[in-house]
Structure 1
Amino acid sequence: MKWDRRTFLQTLLTWGIAQGSIIWPSYNSRLYKYHKVLAEPTDRKLALLIGINTYTKNLGLKGCLTDIERQKDLLINRFGFHPKNILILSNEQATRQGIKNAFLEHLVNQAKPGDVALVHFSGYGAQVKIPSNSPNTIPGVANYPILAQGIIPSEDNQSNKNITITNNILEETLFLLGKLIDTEKLTMVFDTSYCSTGEINQGSLRVRSLPYKFPEANIDELVWQAELKNKIQNSKISANYGTILSAARKGQIATEIKGGNFSVGLFTYALTQYLWSVTPASRINIVLNKATEEILPIMGENQQPEQQSNIKQSLFAYYLLPTNLQGAEVLVSSAEDLDNIQVIFTGFSVNILRHYGLNSIFHNISSTSSSFFQLHSRDGLKGKVRQIFKGTTSRQTDLTGKFLQESVRCLPKIIGLTVALDPKLQRIERVDATSAFSAIDTVAGIASDEEPVDCILGLLASFTSSSSNLTTLNSSEKSKYGLFLPGGVQIPNTSGKTGEAIKSSVERLRPNLENLLAVKLLRLTVNENSSKLLFSINLEGLNPDPYPIDRRETNRNKTFTSQIDKIENNSHEVYNLQGLPKIARGTRLRCCIQNQGNKTLDFIIIGISSNGKVTAYIPAHEKEIECDTQDASFLEPGMKNIIPSSSSGLTWTTSSTRGWEQILSISSIYPFYNTWQALKKIPEFKSQKDQMIILDDPLSIAKALLEDLNTASLKINKMITSNSDTYNLDVQVWSTLSFTYQII
């Protein structure tokens, strides 16, 4: 493929700056100047955003309008779209004719070569039959996004009979319309799915597949599609359609989640959240993999985003570089005065945002010297902050549209699990389960219909459609109780015996619940995109020679001058080209870590296996960690280390069972004193040698780690005070980097 200078520079910049790079352009570097040229709005940027919550009775969705709001905010503020070039069709506006007109008038008639175009659809999908007499169409089954007024229900909505789907557009028709747009820089995002489970919900999540049997496609739609095909075939229109991002693979379902006072498409949230926070640009495959990482703890492998693209597709998301190099966690939407600033949360994972506490602190990246803002109220995705320290004199009118980055993360010290009960349980089972959970400290409560949940207690029979390993169970096995992810996927090693009383089941699951809470707390510390430490970690396999699997690195505090030759030299280091890393069972692993900053670090590595075990790697310390120690004493500035080292005699291997695993690397500028004390209670713990220990009580370790990070933050930040109810974590103190990979 032949590239012009502009495309070459875009690709070069993206390969060097994206995740896995050690490059950050300073304001006086040549590369920064290139970025300025590439990010300028020289070409038009057009978007069509379609979101439908309102369907027929009992079939409404709740998160589709939130999806298009998040996309709109992202496009305008991160990628430089002009608001007038974004056309939104919501609910009753999103009819077949409305979408047809929008494509032709807003996109086809306006777009020119070099322009960027984005189409987003959030709503129901279904599969329809293509009859044998269809014009210029192969008979079979086709995907059908469901539009406003596109469902005519039967009198009995539960019968799944006599359902008419009309006035809709086939997915293939949307692809054909995309080919009419005279630019190859087209991205189409579909947060919908077409494979029906026959249910409205999957676990505790709302499904975006219509729960009805196949109807037949509308004949008018097939005629129009045939006309479009003829038009494309008889013209010189390119067959390229840009990039298509789908929320789920063929045969899977897309879902929407509840985040506390809001609902949103799981895929759209993960996608936009990462694009907001990443610094400063990212390859599209990395973006999709990061979204998959966010989805896995909720849906397991039952919803995996997918990318289709032509061979000329850009390496970077939406064919664009951000107009601002730095990512952000918060966007200022308006400011009445400096004590009442309205913000939108943009760059936090949904699980972190769920517990994000009042008094958290942010700083304004647009100010020449930092101005700090403290959160004093929050409602779902929106909140209010007030200025608490003026690095420069600010006016509220200067703040609207500005980015705020995380400085101090406040988390409640009392966090428990919210458990949902399988709706197919009998009333007496629900009463007994609720009573049993009330006696378990790790459980905060039983979820209501609108609450986000951490897990579900239910019967294996209730979730056979969502877990392939359950479909072969006999009837007695299906009557067993177990724990499930929010998306209905069974958590390993949680099923009990046939005939077990539900109260006994809850008590049996107490250790599993403690493990789940420990993992939840550890994940609340992930801050790859906001940490001010300079730290990197490479995950490698040994076969027997080392080979690269994945890489993580903090980027936000990088200010050193970049060199183009460094980008060229490192451009061959490409990770995760085909989805999440896939690693064979029993593969030996190692981590290569590097302290790239100017402060000595302490660190610990936590592994969460596919069978639910939690393992900790603890580096050797020459002397006992004391309570009043002021500085960490292990990983010196510039120091590299291999974990586990060949001299330690330790072996780190992946699980022997199929699934997915996670590795968390937690580092701090102060020693982990409380963690050290908790580890000393483990009989086999030896302080003066490297160790890998399976944690029988990971919850105590997770709480100790949070306490250590809180103590370190209090030592360096005078704006925060000790609070018995809150962990106050300063991003200058710690970094938590996360890897997720599949075991095959």
Structure 2
Amino acid sequence: MGLTRRTFIQQMGWALTTLGVSESLVLWADRYQQAIAQPTRRKLALLIGINQYAEQVCDYAVPKGSVLNGSVTDVALQQELLIHRFGFQPSDILTLTDQQATRQSILDAFQAHLVQQARPGDAVVFHFSGLGSRIRLEGAFEQAEPNGSNLEYNSFVPVDGWLPTPENPVIHDIPEETLGWLLRSISTDQIITILDTSHTSLGRTLQGNLRIRSRPSTPSGRLDELEEVLQDQLSRETGISKAKIHAQWRSGQVPGLLLSAAHANQIAAEAQWSGFSAGLLTYALTQQLWWATPATTLYFVPNSIGFTRVRLDQASQLLSSGIAKGFASSPNADGVIHAVDEEGKAQVWLAGLPAAVLENYGASVLAISSSGVSPQSSTQSLQDFTHPTLHQIRSREGLMFKTRLISEADRPLVGQWVQEQVRILPRSVGLTVAIDASLERIERVDATSAFSAIPRVSSVIAGEQPADFLFGKNQSAYPLTASLDPSTPSAQNGYGLFYPSRDAILSTLIQDDEAVKTAVNRVTPELKTLLATKWLRLTENQGSSRLGVRVTLERVGLEPISSSQIKPQPLKPQALMHRETVRSIWTAPESDPALGDAKLTLSVGSQIQYRLANYGDRPVYFVLLGLNAAGNAIAFYPGEADMLEQTILAPGESVTVPPSEPGWKMQTAGLAEIHVVFCSAPLTQTYQTLATTRPKTDTQRVVLLTNPLEVVQALLQDLHQASAPLVLALPKVEVPADTYALDVNTWATLSFVHQVV
């Protein structure tokens, strides 16, 4: 029996619901003030990342390379962030990766580095990336389950977490309860625990084109004797029984702040991009903390992954916790300089931009402050970027970029922050489609052949290389029931396209049997729509834009008719979420505090609108483009009369889209993705191209697009032309032919993704 849509959303919590424990920032406000008032406090971190598990540990054949690919990258992402954004001393950060991360080494490091060194008021960060597991323990924690019916518990898998055998039925994992006791042994309440792992077993290792971070099985056995001795010792020292520590984990009662990529019955995953892989939680969290400020409301979407955005209230709490000393006085940034040679060429760690953008970053230009360095050395103000030193990117390896100095200024210094100045994107960007590994070999061969004939489209086998979307069969209505194990027979349903998470793009699915090549030909027109969507994602720049704009997603509609009413009355708009630029020199107006209680799912039949606000000092023009929940391209069409005048937003003004009741009605379940693009110059070519899709009436409304790729290409050209005067004024900038050069002072793209159920 398939999962219901609502059940699926609950199980995919790492993609669709709030992460962590608390949704409120109020409890952390005082802690933030205390943090910045104690500049001499110590900060300690233990970061663990494991990719290279043996088959006897992970319980499946190790794929080409290693079991996981992004856990060690997660450690590097956290380490760079803690040092250069939060002022940790490198000597206070201990990392254990791959073969270093044995069970005993992890436990010893936790005791020696955190428990024995931390003092009241210190800040502590513990991070684990790797496999999690469910384990079935013989006679463990009997008192935790009065009826004795549930003997399964969560564990973290060390590199030597050997599976039990009949000859040696011992489980070598680290039980979740042990971590709970260890956390409660630390002499400070300023603790941040980040767990980019999961425990739920789905019986497979892939979810679409994502790699699952949990064992595909549930081993049975007993705990190691040393583990039992340790637990008894920790229980006595903390005064917390085994039953109580188990119950505390289940209820989320963890010291300090817990950021978890998955809750009970949910999965965590890692994605691969060009040149690197990373955990979805870790990359999204660290990326946005590079450019966030304590007042920023954080959201994330792994670009090109296609998940609904996640409200990271916990990330905002992270900013207001004990690790944020010096954070408030520093500007946001996109990366940091790692090394500089005698000619002024630099190596830049650039983890503050969306991963999909980095894949296509070309010869982009970065602004480097003449005085600001990471907070462990000094502080920096936004004014430092008024006359920046400019560097242009020459090459890239993973998250490290080599640049050359292009402005007449002092040589850059190691530790200086960098911010995006000009985004240079190739016009030849194409689409990569992953072919579902669960298809039969002949199906995969036919699909590869069919996609090779489509211009600007390439294909790979799921799980082997990065991809924008997935081609497969509609094995089930819901991703969690769609097995990607190649040994599992394919369901007899139609082919279609999916996001890499295996969320279906409904407009591409049919139930009829058809040949693979026929199916590829059928979805070929949709590939143009998806390529247009990829282009829109490449313009997203909430963190780097210098325009002063905000967009709020609101629920609208009509109240039910009461006995005293003749007709339904409009509901007061309810703010659900907002996006705003964070690098503008203008101060954004205060946001609605009710946003903290917003849910990111909408019911079919709900009505919404977008409220656009300009808090800068210059007029901006706007356009709204995206995909509805069915996967169809849509746009806000302003009408024929005075088109450009209707899409201009003066300083201090706001407008709603659609501009009148009853709003935009959600008619189909699925994922909807909307991008609101602002520009300091008229979007002339965009609206000329948009006008070729003429609605039947001349009124403003959201319409289906028949030419989405042409519209988006026109938009990119408008942004390119608007940026040209600023780019040409920059000294020695080389703009390669056949590229778009977009200056952050001219445009802003704020993006929304929501689930309709």
Cα deviation per residue 1:501-548 (whole Å; 9 max; x = unaligned)? 111000111122122111111111111110011111222212411121
Residues 709 and 314 of structure 1: CA distance in aligned 2, closer, same or farther (over 3 Å): closer
Match status 1:665 vs 2:676? yes
Match status 1:385 vs 2:403? yes
Query: Secondary structure of 2:664's partner?
Result: coil
Taking the aligned partners of 1:464 and 1:602, their CA distance within structure 2 comes to: 39
Taking the aligned partners of 1:742 and 1:83, their CA distance within structure 2 comes to: 41
Match status 1:615 vs 2:650? no
Select 1:715's aligned residue among 714, 722, 725: 725
Report the counterpart of residue 410 of structure 2 in structure 1: 394
Taking the aligned partners of 2:100 and 2:483, their CA distance within structure 1 comes to: 42
Match status 1:483 vs 2:510? no
Return the offset for 1:355. Answer: 1.6
Residues 541 and 175 of structure 1: CA distance in aligned 2, closer, same or farther (over 3 Å): same
Report the counterpart of residue 121 of structure 2 in structure 1: 114
Report the counterpart of residue 65 of structure 1 in structure 2: 72
Match status 1:229 vs 2:235? yes
> For 1:255-654, what aligned pairs fall within 5 Å after superposition?
255-278=269-292, 280-281=293-294, 286-287=297-298, 290-291=299-300, 293-294=301-302, 298=305, 300=307, 316=320, 320=324, 323=327, 324-364=329-369, 366=372, 367=384, 369-390=387-408, 393-396=409-412, 399-446=413-460, 450-461=464-475, 466-467=480-481, 478-543=492-557, 544-558=571-585, 570=590, 573-577=593-597, 580-619=599-638, 623=642, 634-646=648-660, 651-654=662-665
Deviates more, 1:237-246 or 1:507-516: 237-246
Structure 1 unaligned regions, length at least 5: 1-6, 15-33, 155-160, 626-630
Residues 724 and 525 of structure 1: CA distance in aligned 2, closer, same or farther (over 3 Å): same
Residues 355 and 685 of structure 1: CA distance in aligned 2, closer, same or farther (over 3 Å): farther
Query: Secondary structure of 1:186's partner?
Result: strand
Return the offset for 1:729. Answer: 0.7
Conservation of the 8 A alpha-carbon contact between 2:437 and 2:462: no
Conservation of the 8 A alpha-carbon contact between 2:367 and 2:388: no
Taking the aligned partners of 1:547 and 1:449, their CA distance within structure 2 comes to: 41
Conservation of the 8 A alpha-carbon contact between 2:170 and 2:224: no
Structure 2 unaligned regions, length at least 5: 1-24, 56-60, 373-383, 558-570
Return the offset for 1:443. Answer: 1.2
Residues 684 and 152 of structure 1: CA distance in aligned 2, closer, same or farther (over 3 Å): closer
Return the offset for 1:679. Answer: 1.2
Cα deviation per residue 1:428-461 (whole Å; 9 max; x = unaligned)? 3233222221232241444686421011212233
Select 1:692's aligned residue among 696, 702, 718: 702
Conservation of the 8 A alpha-carbon contact between 1:609 and 1:654: no
Return the offset for 1:498. Answer: 3.5
Return the offset for 1:642. Answer: 2.6
Residues 452 and 162 of structure 1: CA distance in aligned 2, closer, same or farther (over 3 Å): farther
Residues 487 and 518 of structure 1: CA distance in aligned 2, closer, same or farther (over 3 Å): same
Conservation of the 8 A alpha-carbon contact between 1:601 and 1:632: no
Report the counterpart of residue 88 of structure 2 in structure 1: 81
Conservation of the 8 A alpha-carbon contact between 1:604 and 1:619: no
Cα deviation per residue 1:412-437 (whole Å; 9 max; x = unaligned)? 11111101112233343233222221
Taking the aligned partners of 2:312 and 2:718, their CA distance within structure 1 comes to: 39
Return the offset for 1:66. Answer: 0.7
Taking the aligned partners of 2:579 and 2:423, their CA distance within structure 1 comes to: 21
Conservation of the 8 A alpha-carbon contact between 2:271 and 2:280: yes
Taking the aligned partners of 2:551 and 2:687, their CA distance within structure 1 comes to: 23
Taking the aligned partners of 1:556 and 1:255, their CA distance within structure 2 comes to: 31
Report the counterpart of residue 731 of structure 1 in structure 2: 744
Return the offset for 1:475. Answer: 9.1
Return the offset for 1:115. Answer: 1.2
Conservation of the 8 A alpha-carbon contact between 2:492 and 2:513: no
Query: Secondary structure of 1:337's partner?
Result: coil
Conservation of the 8 A alpha-carbon contact between 1:95 and 1:168: no
Taking the aligned partners of 1:136 and 1:476, their CA distance within structure 2 comes to: 43
Query: Secondary structure of 2:154's partner?
Result: strand
Residues 142 and 585 of structure 1: CA distance in aligned 2, closer, same or farther (over 3 Å): same
Taking the aligned partners of 1:240 and 1:574, their CA distance within structure 2 comes to: 26
Match status 1:206 vs 2:176? no
Return the offset for 1:132. Answer: 2.4
Match status 1:101 vs 2:108? yes
Query: Secondary structure of 2:648's partner?
Result: coil
> For 1:149-160, what aligned pairs fall within 5 Å after superposition?
149-152=160-163
Return the offset for 1:318. Answer: 6.3
Amino acid at match of 2:632: K
Residues 556 and 114 of structure 1: CA distance in aligned 2, closer, same or farther (over 3 Å): same
Residues 306 and 623 of structure 1: CA distance in aligned 2, closer, same or farther (over 3 Å): closer
Query: Secondary structure of 1:252's partner?
Result: coil
Provide the aligned length of Structure 1 versus Structure 2: 677
Deviates more, 1:110-119 or 1:492-501: 492-501
Residues 709 and 299 of structure 1: CA distance in aligned 2, closer, same or farther (over 3 Å): closer
Residues 601 and 374 of structure 1: CA distance in aligned 2, closer, same or farther (over 3 Å): same
Alpha carbon RMSD of aligned pairs, Å? 3.5
Amino acid at match of 2:679: S
Amino acid at match of 1:351: A
Cα deviation per residue 1:262-305 (whole Å; 9 max; x = unaligned)? 12112111111111122x2257xx44xx23x337x62747x979
Return the offset for 1:67. Answer: 0.5
Taking the aligned partners of 2:443 and 2:191, their CA distance within structure 1 comes to: 52
Cα deviation per residue 1:185-221 (whole Å; 9 max; x = unaligned)? 1111111111122222222222211122332241432
Report the counterpart of residue 144 of structure 1 in structure 2: 155
Amino acid at match of 1:209: S
Residues 356 and 459 of structure 1: CA distance in aligned 2, closer, same or farther (over 3 Å): same
Return the offset for 1:337. Answer: 3.1
Return the offset for 1:700. Answer: 1.3
Conservation of the 8 A alpha-carbon contact between 1:56 and 1:152: no
Residues 355 and 163 of structure 1: CA distance in aligned 2, closer, same or farther (over 3 Å): farther
Conservation of the 8 A alpha-carbon contact between 2:369 and 2:417: yes
> For 1:192-203, what aligned pairs fall within 5 Å after superposition?
192-203=197-208
Report the counterpart of residue 675 of structure 1 in structure 2: 686
Match status 1:705 vs 2:718? no
Amino acid at match of 1:376: R
